[in-house]
Amino acid sequence: MQAASRLRGFMPGFASPTVGNRSLDRLLPWLLLPVFVISILPIARLAIEGVFVGGVPSADYIRDVLGSSTTWRATANSLYTAGLGTIISLLIGGAFAFLVALTDIRAKAVLVFCFMIPMMIPPQITALAWVQLTGPSSALLNALGMAPPMGSPQPFYSAEGIALLLGIQHASIVFLTLRANLRMLPREQIEAARLAGARGGRLWWQIILPLTSPGLIAGTAMAFVTALGNFGIPAMLGIPANYSTLPTLIYQKLAGFGPSVLGEVSVLAMLIGTIAILGVAVHHRLLGKRDYRLMGMVGRPLDIRLGARRTLVEAVLWTVLIAILVIPLMALVATALVPAFGVKLSLANYSFDAFYEVLFVQPSTIRAFHNSFMLSVGAAVTLVAVCLPLAYVIVRRPTRLTHMVNLLVEVPYALPGVVLAIACILLFIRIPVIDVSLYGTLAIIFVAYLARFLVIALRPVMNSFSQLDPALEEAAQACGAGLGRRLRDILLPLAAPSAAAGALLVFLTAFNELTVSALLWSAGNETLGVLIFNLDDSGDTVLASAVAVLVVLVVIALMSCFQLASRRLPKGVVPWQT
Amino acid sequence: MADINLSRITKSFGDYRAVNQVSLDIHDGEFVALLGPSGCGKTTLLRLLAGFEEPDQGVIALGGQAVADPANGVMINPEARNLGIVFQSYALWPHMSVARNVGYPLEVRGLGRAERDAKIAEALSIVALEPYADRSPTELSGGQRQRVALARCLVMEPRAVLLDEPLANLDVHLRETMQQAFLDFHRRTGATMIYVTHDQAEAMAMADRIAVMDKGRIRQVAAPETLYREPADHMVAGFVGAGAVLPIGDVSMRGTGRCSVRLGEAAIHARICHKAANNSDGQDLGLCLRPEDVWVDEAGTLRGSVEDCVYLGGRFRLQVRVDSDQILPVYATRRARIGETVGLVISDGWVFDRSEGEAA
Ligand SMILES: Nc1ncnc2c1ncn2[C@@H]1O[C@H](COP(=O)(O)OP(=O)(O)OP(=O)(O)O)[C@@H](O)[C@H]1O
Ligand SMILES: [Mg+2]
């Protein structure tokens, strides 16, 4: 009573906008509501399928699925391939990020630019390229006389093959997260360590690595969760070898159809979700113990001299890049240029017919480009706009609710796309209350993308918020800036590099995404991923490769536009620029 | 108008009480220094005032109105308190130019461009940084950054300015200039200033009153000269000023506020604090001697041997051992040999209660 009257008496003495700021402060937690609806409700809807049999609560599906040895073998396989793949991603992405951000190697921009490309090739196409490349009938190896003898096993049809490709595919995730983090490493802290006598390995192990551990941990967690839900690679490499992971097991269950499909898929989905949440919980536990907010000025990049070893390091980096980028890309281009699938490509018989066909004969290509572009740009922009305040709430105003949301947003990303698609269909085929159906429109794909990619946009921004010296925000607060202003004037520009990295990741992942839209598309609403898949599925591998090549070209063109605009954008927004 | 009143403020981090039952009244327009050793809770107290921390107990009032009162659920946001703060770590925004950093408070208040530019130019000229207006703060030296932070604080004409060791990174020369700039600013605007420092010379030179903190508590709040002449307890006596604090036992009163103390062969006439005067059993009393009250004089009854002699320019400072285990700092006009026996005359001293009770 007394407090209220004091407060009222007090306020007129102060600038009036504060009233609005205070209400914004209160409104902020409501942001969790749409996040909840879009990313958690569909999963909850699907979960219901697993615990009800014919409308009655029952543990039958759970017992059946968890009692089956196939489930546990697939789980073990998933953990093995995702775990090994994550280690490979960490090694490749981590090494690139550290070397590019901290040392004086040359041609950094080109290196980073090229490093982003493997991620944009759809996983199933990458897998196809590697299989074509390394098998006994490989065009390239045959030309070099190095092909294994006919009948020998394809080395990539194995757990390690799957892990290797998963690792290559997701190295850019580790790279981008870590690099955003390294950009904020103030030079003084490393210089202080060097003055203290830390040199070489000690500097890396004891100072740089611990200081960047939030980024390392975040990138690792994201790479793991992504690998866990990947379908394309284990499908192309595992199914021929009879090696199933959880996503391929779900796919096989769905293909088998039957009355219990939804229930069993739901239980398997919950299993993947649990593993993903456990992985993320470990990540939060690890991060929670460290509060490495970096004090001091950011923005001056470091240049540790490599000296005589520089040329060697550069040679290794470029070799790795050629192996993971140029070779699969060459295989893809070669397939797109053959006159007919199976014909041996030579200088005499290459043809651009496939490109002509997809660009000028089939209207669906342009439509798919248009749809995918709208969907991925829309998702990237929407998600960054949502994630800035959302990350703020989670990092600076933690409550039990935000902790829960923080873990649950991981689930739609970790689940195989098909499962998320089913969940979205179940929920949106007839939205309760307003009685509208989203099924058969682009909107349902858009909503599914928002759910799936939220976490990709969220993590880098959260990461950079938790690293900012809180005094930067407090100084603005003391200047009278309310929450909205602080977000806009201080936090947004400082988090812009991370937000841009997040947006770019969303865009690149969504642009030729296949597994979600595979179930959600309808005539006129096809995406690039669907188009490529359908062409490939109906035997038009050459046309599929042509579209894939076009996709890569378009993405490179878009990245070049960013490059040209980079001078007008805030520093660090374009991830491959130093 | 903008009196600041802290009443029994407590703030704990876990089990550790960083600020413990602190009460402090600061009048409008006063310049108060918070002085204390590292880790004593100065920054925490400042952050409580600014509103970045919420007290566990107690009431903080600005201009008579509670801005933090956990018992009644009152907590006004920092942005609504109109207090300027200069951070220990500068807290400049690396993505804005120096001018924009300085002008940001005005931008938030919605001032027009022309007015803003004029005020920015004025603030930058006070800190002598006009040529750097268009630079990025990352391209400035540590001292220059601190001055930008000061300018940003000055430009908003806050009801009170909170400064957390603002001059710690500046060179001696610049430090004096900046001290003068603070005092000028203070006189011109009449703003209340709360100035955190662990440099007592700085505190003495600038503040109207000094609050000495130790382990989360305020030990004494007084004008610099009072603090120097009449420290309330052992911690303050030892922390403020170069002087000796000697344990004594034998005190006889000589009228109100004066007494006679035996030190070796000599009887010293000293002032005595009220609390110590009532402490009739003479336990736990201490004698604080300042070097300017002690002379070298062969007629002196107190004898001691010279341990050290340093030339300070114009005079010498001797360390003289008396009574085998006590060392007195003494100013002298001539050089003394190490080991030489000298006679001392003590013209004044201050007797206080050494027991670590509730601070005065
Ligand atoms: N956020 C925090 N969490 C836990 N302990 C804290 C926190 N902030 C301060 N402390 C502790 O409270 C005590 C007082 O800290 P404070 O920063 O106020 O010291 P200070 O007087 O400003 O010291 P200095 O002169 O070195 O700046 C210290 O022991 C510090 O370790
Ligand atoms: Mg401090």
For A158, other C-beta atoms within 10 Å of its C-beta total: 16
pLDDT at A143: 64
CA of A408 to the centre of ligand 2 (A): 39
CA nearest A297 in B: which residue?
B138
**What is the pLDDT, as a whole number, of residue A7?**
33
A410-442 confidence digits (pLDDT tens)? 788 877 787 888 888 888 877 767 777 777 788
Number of Cβ within a 10 Å radius of residue A360: 10
- How far away, in angstroms, is B314 Cα from ligand 2 center? 36
CATH code for the domain defined by B4-229: 3.40.50.300
User: Which residue of chain A has the CA closest to B103?
Assistant: A479
Nearest CA in chain A to B91: A472
Neighbours of B244 (CB within 10 A): 22
- Is A485 at the interface with chain B, CB within 8 A? yes
Residue A3: what pLDDT? 38
Pocket test for ligand 1, best of B10, B22, B44 (most atoms within 8 A of CB): B44
Confidence at residue A144, expressed as pLDDT on a 0 to 100 scale: 66
| Mean pLDDT for the stretch of residues A157-184 | 85
Tell me how far apart the alpha carbons of residues B221 and A496 are, in angstroms, rounded to a whole number.
47
pLDDT at A283 over 60: yes
Model confidence over A106-152: pLDDT tens digits?
888 788 888 877 776 777 777 877 877 776 666 666 666 666 777 77
Q: Delineate the domains of chain A, giving CATH numbers in brackets.
A: 72-115+160-326 (1.10.3720.10), 375-541 (1.10.3720.10)
Q: Do B4-229 and B238-353 fold alike per CATH?
A: no
pLDDT at B77: 85
- The radius of gyration of chain B's CA atoms, rounded to the nearest angstrom, is 24
Q: How confident is the model at residue A17 (pLDDT cuts 50, 70, 90)?
A: very low
Question: Any chain A CB within 8 A of the CB of B331?
Answer: no
Q: How far apart are CA B131 and CA B148, in angstroms?
A: 12
Q: Do B138 and A300 touch (CB under 8 A)?
A: yes
Q: Does A10 touch chain B (CB under 8 A)?
A: yes
**What pLDDT score does B34 carry?**
94
Interchain CB distance below 8 Å, B87 and A474: yes
Nearest ligand 1 atom to the CA of B45 is 18
Report for A518-522, A559-563, B217-221: range of highest mean pLDDT: B217-221
In single-letter form, the type of residue at position B197 comes to: T
Which residue type does A54 have?
Answer: G
Taking residues A88-101, what's their average pLDDT? 89
With 50 as the cut, is the pLDDT of residue A9 above it? Answer: no
User: A91-100, A144-153, A483-492: lowest mean pLDDT where?
Assistant: A144-153
Residue with tokens 């939060």: A284
A558 or A290, which is more confident?
A558
- CB-based burial, A134-148: b 16+ in 10 Å, e otherwise: bbeebbeeeeeeebe
Q: Which residue of B has its CA nearest to A475?
A: B91
Which numbered atom of ligand 1 lies nearest the CA of B47?
18
Q: Do A474 and B91 touch (CB under 8 A)?
A: yes
Pocket of ligand 1, beta carbon within 6 A: B 13, 18, 36, 38-44, 198
Is residue A292 very low, low, confident or very high in pLDDT (cuts 50, 70, 90)?
low
Look at residue A55 in the predicted model and tell me its pLDDT: 72
Domain boundaries, chain B: 4-229, 238-353
Q: Please provide residue A437's backbone torsions phi and psi, each rounded to the nearest 5 degrees.
A: -105, 130
Nearest Cβ partner for B50 among A296, A478, A494: A478
Report the separation in Å between the CA atom of A167 and the middle of ligand 1, taken as the mean of its atom positions: 44
At A159, which amino acid appears?
Answer: A
Q: B97 in contact with A at a CB cutoff of 8 Å?
A: no
Give A258's pLDDT tier (boundaries 50, 70, 90).
low
Confidence (pLDDT) at A401: 84
Decide if A163 contacts A86 (C-beta within 8 A): no
Q: Mind telling me how many Å the CA of B24 is from chain A's nearest CA?
A: 21
Cβ B251 vs Cβ B351: under 8 Å? yes
| Cβ atoms A226, A119 nearer than 8 A | no
Residue of the CA atom closest to atom 3 of ligand 1: B13
A542 three-state secondary structure:
helix
Strand bridging mode B350-353 / B266-272: parallel
The alpha carbon of residue A94 is apart from the nearest alpha carbon of chain B, in Å, by: 27
pLDDT at A186: 66
Region of B91 please: left (phi>0), alpha (psi -120 to 50) or beta. Answer: left
pLDDT at A191 (0 to 100): 67
pLDDT of residue A377: 94
Which structure tokens are listed for A52?
Answer: 């009800």
CA of B38 to the centre of ligand 1 (A): 8
Q: Which residues of chain B fall short of a pLDDT of 70?
A: 1-2, 279-283, 324, 355-360
Judged by a CB distance cut-off of 8 A, whether residue B77 touches chain A is yes
| B37 C-beta neighbours (distance < 10 Å), count | 13
Residue A24 confidence class, pLDDT cut points 50, 70, 90:
low
A26 and chain B in contact, CB less than 8 A:
no
Percent of chain A past pLDDT 70, that is, above it, reads 82
The secondary structure of residue A486, as a DSSP letter, is I
What strand order describes the sheet that includes B341-346?
A: B294-296, B341-346, B302-311, B316-322, B326-332
The CATH number of the structural domain formed by B238-353 is 2.40.50.140
Whether ipTM exceeds 0.85: no
Residue with tokens 């201009």: B63
Provide the pLDDT for residue A291: 56
pLDDT digits (tens, 9 = 90+) for A463-473: 788 878 888 88
Of the candidates A441, A410, A402, A400, the residue with the CA atom closest to the CA atom of residue A424: A441
Strands B65-69 and B57-62: antiparallel
Give me ligand 2 centre to Cα B215, in Å.
13
Instruction: List the single range of A170-184, A290-304, B60-74, B96-110 with lowest mean pLDDT.
Output: A290-304
Mean pLDDT, residues A283-306 taken together: 62
Pairwise CB contact (< 8 Å): B78 & A10: no
Computed over every residue of chain A, the mean pLDDT equals: 79
> In chain B, which residues have their Cβ closer than 8 Å to the Cβ of A295?
89
Predicted confidence band of residue A8 (pLDDT cuts 50, 70, 90): very low
H or E element that contains A249: helix A246-256
Rounded Cα–Cα distance for residues B42 and A124 (Å): 61
Q: How do B4-13 and A56-57 pair as beta strands? A: unpaired
